[in-house]
Structure 1
């Protein structure tokens, strides 16, 4: 089941009565602005931890905040980066075989954007590119010998596959304003979301300029038996592999016995 976040009314009260102080305590390294009453942008998450358990099927988090004066809001969530390999297959003698592959580094495991308006109406292209806002503006580090411009379709394939798996998403117009200053948006995470430290960035934009920005961490981690098995597999890979083989052999033997009796 998908876990529901706190009710909007409660979140608004939390924001007005102390959400700013809670945010400052949760992110001691975040840029410190003026006092909450004068801050142009105040934001927080309904939770800073997503626990992955055996029953996890995905979840939504609520990001909420307030601005001092009307403006456009953009929210970006970036997951931990890793290396991604894209393979191109072609039919050969009746079989689909890998004919070529390209590798990219610095690929976010998860990436989501929500905005109050279409991005091109909020900020100029050079600003979006510099901050890597929007899937078309993501920059990966190419690890191969060829010129990156010669293999642009492989870069696009990385993004396309992530979108297909629900790990990259753009929600244009998904930020709801509750009056002229309060806003909120839901951030969806699929069941396949990787563990790690995520970064949530919120930008307040007026007249094609960023007038305020805030960043806060989000942690996704395994808990319960899943965490214990994962830790054991990392600490004792040889023993873990042996146990997995023995369990597979036992399961096969048990299935054979059951079918034979049937």
Structure 2
């Protein structure tokens, strides 16, 4: 009950003061925080999204998309007992992180066209190869890419659950793993009625490295050769110290 009251107070505060900068008249929502700070002790983070509907009815869908980038998928072929590099395919516009949450399963409340238009579900992601391939090859490498992202925890395998508190208030939690990439994340909140998006909002969630983690990353980008040399020397020193400790034991 305490959590329900807390969510109710937050949602009422949103209705009174506003939330996302891009805001629809009958849909208001916000995040518990808009910055995820990655430090050397970062182990992941949960972000609460909550909001309210002015009108009852319909469903709410939340889509969180990380920075889009190029990703190359390489196949491996087993030859005489040895795995060797095979064909590869590079996709453009690949979300570095992707998660969807909904009040109900996407199938009954959307159409294939709607899911394709708003990229609802991993099957609807617009992953385009940079070169021309036949559809069977694209489907094979696309499946491998999505599977890799899922194993890394960057594409949750299941659609998250949005809880409704009464007829108008809703909330959900988006979990980010420890290996979440930094950058701006787009958070979309959609209200779906009769297989149509009738209201939508968008906001930005920033994932950023701070402190020592940020300094090391900046140094590695600016002084790659020195960073590599330092890492090599550190590894040699660690091995030498471990060898001395082993001899004394």
Same fold (TM over 0.5): yes
Tell me, yes or no, if structure 1 residue 118 matches structure 2 residue 100.
no
Alpha-carbon offset, residue 212 of structure 1 = 0.4
SS in 2 for 1:23: coil
Alpha-carbon offset, residue 22 of structure 1 = 5.3
RMSD: 2.0
Does 167-176 or 237-246 show the bigger shift?
167-176
Which residue in 2 is equivalent to 1:236? 223
Alpha-carbon offset, residue 252 of structure 1 = 2.0
Q: Is the 8 A contact 2:18 2:28 kept in 1?
A: no
Which residue in 2 is equivalent to 1:51? 37
* Runs (5+) with no aligned partner, structure 2: none
- Once residues 254 and 82 of structure 1 are traced to their aligned partners in structure 2, the CA distance between those partners, rounded to angstroms, is 41
TM-score of the aligned structures, taking structure 1 as reference length? 0.87
Q: Is the 8 A contact 1:113 1:170 kept in 2?
A: no
**How many residues were matched structurally?**
247
Tell me, yes or no, if structure 1 residue 203 matches structure 2 residue 199.
no
Show CA shifts across 1:46-105 (max 9, x none): 111111122222221111010122210110000011111212212111111122111111
Name the CA shift for 1:176/1:237 in 2 (closer, same or farther; >3 Å): same
- 1:10 paired residue among 6, 11, 14: 6
- Once residues 51 and 185 of structure 1 are traced to their aligned partners in structure 2, the CA distance between those partners, rounded to angstroms, is 20
Tell me, yes or no, if structure 1 residue 21 matches structure 2 residue 7.
no
Alpha-carbon offset, residue 118 of structure 1 = 1.5
- Once residues 14 and 190 of structure 2 are traced to their aligned partners in structure 1, the CA distance between those partners, rounded to angstroms, is 21
Tell me, yes or no, if structure 1 residue 187 matches structure 2 residue 174.
yes
Tell me, yes or no, if structure 1 residue 136 matches structure 2 residue 123.
yes
- Once residues 150 and 17 of structure 1 are traced to their aligned partners in structure 2, the CA distance between those partners, rounded to angstroms, is 51
Alpha-carbon offset, residue 133 of structure 1 = 0.9
Q: Which runs of 4+ in 1 moved over 6 A?
A: none
- Once residues 91 and 7 of structure 2 are traced to their aligned partners in structure 1, the CA distance between those partners, rounded to angstroms, is 40
TM-score of the aligned structures, taking structure 2 as reference length? 0.92
